[in-house]
Amino acid sequence: MQSPEQNPEAMKAAMAHVRALLSFIGEDPDREGLLDTPKRVVKAMHEHFRGYSMDPAESLGRTFKEVDGYDQMVLLTDIDLQSHCEHHMVPFVGKAHVAYIPDGKVVGLSKLAKVVEIYSKRLQVQEKLTAQIANAIQEHLQPLGVAVVIQARHFCMCYRGVHQPRAWTTTSRLTGVFLENLATREEFLRLIAIGRND
Protein backbone atom coordinates (compact mmCIF):
# COMPACT_ATOMS: atom_id res chain seq x y z
CA MET A 1 0.00 0.00 0.00
CA GLN A 2 1.44 3.32 -1.08
CA SER A 3 1.29 6.32 1.22
CA PRO A 4 -1.35 8.97 0.38
CA GLU A 5 1.43 11.35 -0.64
CA GLN A 6 2.90 8.78 -3.04
CA ASN A 7 -0.33 8.24 -4.91
CA PRO A 8 -2.67 11.26 -4.80
CA GLU A 9 -4.93 9.78 -7.53
CA ALA A 10 -5.62 6.63 -5.52
CA MET A 11 -6.19 8.74 -2.42
CA LYS A 12 -8.76 10.89 -4.27
CA ALA A 13 -10.59 7.79 -5.51
CA ALA A 14 -10.66 6.28 -1.99
CA MET A 15 -11.96 9.56 -0.54
CA ALA A 16 -14.81 9.55 -3.09
CA HIS A 17 -15.79 6.09 -1.87
CA VAL A 18 -15.86 7.28 1.74
CA ARG A 19 -18.15 10.12 0.68
CA ALA A 20 -20.43 7.56 -1.00
CA LEU A 21 -20.53 5.52 2.22
CA LEU A 22 -21.44 8.62 4.22
CA SER A 23 -24.37 9.24 1.85
CA PHE A 24 -25.30 5.56 2.03
CA ILE A 25 -25.78 5.70 5.82
CA GLY A 26 -28.00 8.78 5.47
CA GLU A 27 -25.43 11.49 6.17
CA ASP A 28 -24.69 14.71 4.34
CA PRO A 29 -21.00 14.48 3.38
CA ASP A 30 -20.95 18.24 2.80
CA ARG A 31 -21.86 19.27 6.33
CA GLU A 32 -19.08 20.96 8.24
CA GLY A 33 -18.26 18.14 10.65
CA LEU A 34 -17.81 15.63 7.84
CA LEU A 35 -15.92 17.72 5.28
CA ASP A 36 -12.50 16.34 6.24
CA THR A 37 -13.75 12.88 7.20
CA PRO A 38 -12.92 11.17 3.88
CA LYS A 39 -9.33 12.41 4.11
CA ARG A 40 -9.04 11.30 7.75
CA VAL A 41 -10.49 7.86 7.01
CA VAL A 42 -8.09 7.28 4.13
CA LYS A 43 -5.11 8.36 6.25
CA ALA A 44 -6.25 6.11 9.08
CA MET A 45 -6.54 3.22 6.63
CA HIS A 46 -3.00 3.80 5.54
CA GLU A 47 -1.95 3.36 9.16
CA HIS A 48 -4.21 0.35 9.84
CA PHE A 49 -2.99 -1.49 6.76
CA ARG A 50 0.66 -0.51 6.65
CA GLY A 51 1.61 -4.19 6.94
CA TYR A 52 1.11 -4.67 3.19
CA SER A 53 4.19 -2.62 2.46
CA MET A 54 6.34 -4.34 5.09
CA ASP A 55 8.30 -7.52 4.48
CA PRO A 56 8.89 -9.97 7.36
CA ALA A 57 12.08 -11.14 5.61
CA GLU A 58 13.64 -7.77 6.39
CA SER A 59 13.02 -8.21 10.13
CA LEU A 60 13.75 -11.91 10.43
CA GLY A 61 16.50 -12.09 7.84
CA ARG A 62 19.07 -10.57 10.19
CA THR A 63 19.90 -13.36 12.59
CA PHE A 64 22.95 -13.79 14.80
CA LYS A 65 24.76 -16.78 16.21
CA GLU A 66 26.88 -15.39 19.02
CA VAL A 67 24.79 -16.55 22.00
CA ASP A 68 27.25 -18.88 23.80
CA GLY A 69 25.24 -21.94 22.84
CA TYR A 70 21.90 -20.69 24.21
CA ASP A 71 19.40 -23.38 23.27
CA GLN A 72 16.38 -22.83 25.51
CA MET A 73 13.09 -21.11 24.94
CA VAL A 74 12.97 -17.47 23.83
CA LEU A 75 9.54 -16.09 24.71
CA LEU A 76 7.94 -12.69 24.18
CA THR A 77 4.59 -12.35 25.98
CA ASP A 78 1.79 -9.79 25.88
CA ILE A 79 2.60 -8.25 22.52
CA ASP A 80 -0.22 -5.79 21.85
CA LEU A 81 -2.07 -6.62 18.69
CA GLN A 82 -4.51 -4.53 16.68
CA SER A 83 -5.84 -5.96 13.47
CA HIS A 84 -8.95 -5.83 11.25
CA CYS A 85 -11.13 -8.76 10.31
CA GLU A 86 -11.36 -9.30 6.60
CA HIS A 87 -15.07 -10.12 6.74
CA HIS A 88 -16.30 -6.83 8.22
CA MET A 89 -13.21 -4.56 8.18
CA VAL A 90 -13.66 -3.82 11.88
CA PRO A 91 -10.95 -4.18 14.54
CA PHE A 92 -10.00 -7.16 16.57
CA VAL A 93 -7.62 -6.42 19.41
CA GLY A 94 -5.72 -8.46 21.91
CA LYS A 95 -2.37 -9.98 22.67
CA ALA A 96 0.10 -12.31 21.07
CA HIS A 97 2.62 -14.58 22.77
CA VAL A 98 5.48 -15.77 20.61
CA ALA A 99 8.14 -18.35 21.48
CA TYR A 100 10.81 -20.34 19.71
CA ILE A 101 13.65 -22.65 20.63
CA PRO A 102 16.70 -21.69 18.58
CA ASP A 103 18.82 -24.12 16.66
CA GLY A 104 21.93 -21.97 16.49
CA LYS A 105 20.27 -18.82 15.08
CA VAL A 106 18.55 -16.13 17.11
CA VAL A 107 16.96 -12.84 16.14
CA GLY A 108 16.62 -9.49 17.91
CA LEU A 109 13.71 -9.64 20.38
CA SER A 110 11.97 -6.61 18.88
CA LYS A 111 11.83 -8.45 15.55
CA LEU A 112 9.32 -10.92 17.02
CA ALA A 113 7.00 -8.03 17.87
CA LYS A 114 7.67 -6.57 14.42
CA VAL A 115 6.47 -9.74 12.71
CA VAL A 116 3.25 -9.59 14.74
CA GLU A 117 2.82 -5.97 13.60
CA ILE A 118 3.52 -6.73 9.92
CA TYR A 119 0.86 -9.43 9.67
CA SER A 120 -1.70 -7.81 11.94
CA LYS A 121 -1.67 -4.53 9.98
CA ARG A 122 -3.45 -6.26 7.12
CA LEU A 123 -6.98 -7.58 6.67
CA GLN A 124 -6.98 -10.82 8.61
CA VAL A 125 -8.73 -13.73 10.18
CA GLN A 126 -7.21 -14.63 13.52
CA GLU A 127 -6.45 -18.22 12.52
CA LYS A 128 -4.49 -17.13 9.46
CA LEU A 129 -2.67 -14.39 11.37
CA THR A 130 -1.52 -16.94 13.96
CA ALA A 131 -0.27 -19.32 11.28
CA GLN A 132 1.50 -16.60 9.28
CA ILE A 133 3.49 -15.39 12.30
CA ALA A 134 4.55 -18.94 13.20
CA ASN A 135 5.38 -19.83 9.58
CA ALA A 136 7.53 -16.72 9.08
CA ILE A 137 9.59 -17.48 12.20
CA GLN A 138 9.90 -21.14 11.23
CA GLU A 139 11.00 -20.27 7.71
CA HIS A 140 13.61 -17.65 8.55
CA LEU A 141 15.09 -18.96 11.82
CA GLN A 142 14.63 -22.68 11.26
CA PRO A 143 14.37 -23.21 15.02
CA LEU A 144 13.61 -26.46 16.83
CA GLY A 145 10.07 -25.24 17.32
CA VAL A 146 7.77 -22.21 17.30
CA ALA A 147 4.72 -21.44 19.43
CA VAL A 148 2.29 -18.61 18.78
CA VAL A 149 -0.84 -17.95 20.84
CA ILE A 150 -3.20 -15.07 20.12
CA GLN A 151 -6.07 -13.98 22.33
CA ALA A 152 -8.33 -11.31 20.89
CA ARG A 153 -11.72 -9.66 21.06
CA HIS A 154 -13.47 -9.18 17.74
CA PHE A 155 -15.51 -6.01 17.34
CA CYS A 156 -17.67 -7.74 14.73
CA MET A 157 -18.76 -10.11 17.52
CA CYS A 158 -18.95 -7.40 20.23
CA TYR A 159 -21.16 -4.77 18.63
CA ARG A 160 -23.05 -6.59 15.92
CA GLY A 161 -24.12 -10.13 15.07
CA VAL A 162 -24.12 -12.26 18.23
CA HIS A 163 -23.28 -9.28 20.54
CA GLN A 164 -20.73 -10.98 22.79
CA PRO A 165 -18.54 -8.10 24.01
CA ARG A 166 -16.68 -10.19 26.58
CA ALA A 167 -15.90 -13.26 24.48
CA TRP A 168 -12.22 -13.93 23.82
CA THR A 169 -11.04 -15.91 20.83
CA THR A 170 -7.86 -17.92 21.37
CA THR A 171 -5.84 -19.45 18.55
CA SER A 172 -2.53 -21.25 18.63
CA ARG A 173 0.02 -22.70 16.28
CA LEU A 174 2.78 -24.97 17.57
CA THR A 175 5.53 -26.56 15.54
CA GLY A 176 8.47 -28.90 16.21
CA VAL A 177 9.33 -29.55 19.85
CA PHE A 178 6.32 -27.57 21.09
CA LEU A 179 4.16 -30.13 19.34
CA GLU A 180 6.19 -33.24 20.06
CA ASN A 181 7.44 -32.62 23.59
CA LEU A 182 4.80 -32.37 26.29
CA ALA A 183 7.19 -30.83 28.85
CA THR A 184 8.18 -28.03 26.44
CA ARG A 185 4.55 -27.32 25.59
CA GLU A 186 3.58 -27.21 29.27
CA GLU A 187 6.49 -24.90 30.09
CA PHE A 188 5.32 -22.51 27.36
CA LEU A 189 1.71 -22.60 28.51
CA ARG A 190 2.76 -22.04 32.13
CA LEU A 191 4.96 -19.07 31.18
CA ILE A 192 2.28 -17.32 29.13
CA ALA A 193 -0.20 -17.76 31.97
CA ILE A 194 1.87 -15.39 34.14
CA GLY A 195 0.01 -12.14 34.72
CA ARG A 196 -3.04 -13.33 32.87
CA ASN A 197 -5.62 -12.05 35.33
CA ASP A 198 -6.43 -8.94 33.28
Residues 118 to 157 in contact with Zn ion, rule: CB under 5 A: 156
Task: CB nearer to Zn ion: give 14 or 90.
Answer: 90
Residue 84 annotated to the active site:
no
From the list 97, 101, 109, the residue with the least C-alpha distance to 195 is: 97
Task: CB nearer to Zn ion: give 126 or 175.
Answer: 126
Residue 48 annotated to the active site:
no
CA dihedral of 69, 75, 81, 85, whole degrees rounded to 10 = 90
Q: Which of 31, 40, 87, 160 binds Zn ion (CB under 5 A)?
A: 87
Residue 163 annotated to the active site:
no
116 within 8 A of 98, measured Cβ to Cβ: yes
Least Cβ distance, residue 169 to Zn ion (angstroms): 11
Q: Is 88 in the site for Zn ion (CB under 5 A)?
A: yes
Q: Is 185 in the site for Zn ion (CB under 5 A)?
A: no
What is the C-alpha separation between 121 and 127, in angstroms, rounded? 15
Residue 88 annotated to the active site:
yes
Task: CB nearer to Zn ion: give 76 or 90.
Answer: 90
Catalytic residue among 2, 6, 17, 86: 86
Q: Which neighbouring-strand residues pair with 100? A: 74, 146
Residues with Cβ within 8 Å of residue 172, at least 6 apart in sequence: 130, 147, 148, 149, 150
Residue 46 annotated to the active site:
no
Give the distance from CA 166 to its chain's centroid: 20
Task: CB nearer to Zn ion: give 12 or 87.
Answer: 87
Size of the site for Zn ion (CB under 5 A): 4
Q: Which of 85, 129, 152, 177 binds Zn ion (CB under 5 A)?
A: 85
Q: CB burial class (10 A; 0-12, 13-18, 19+) of residue 190?
A: exposed
From the list 165, 191, 10, 15, the residue with the least C-alpha distance to 99 is: 191
Provide the binding-site residues for Zn ion, judged by CB under 5 A.
85, 87-88, 156
Catalytic residue numbers read 85-88, 126, 154, 156
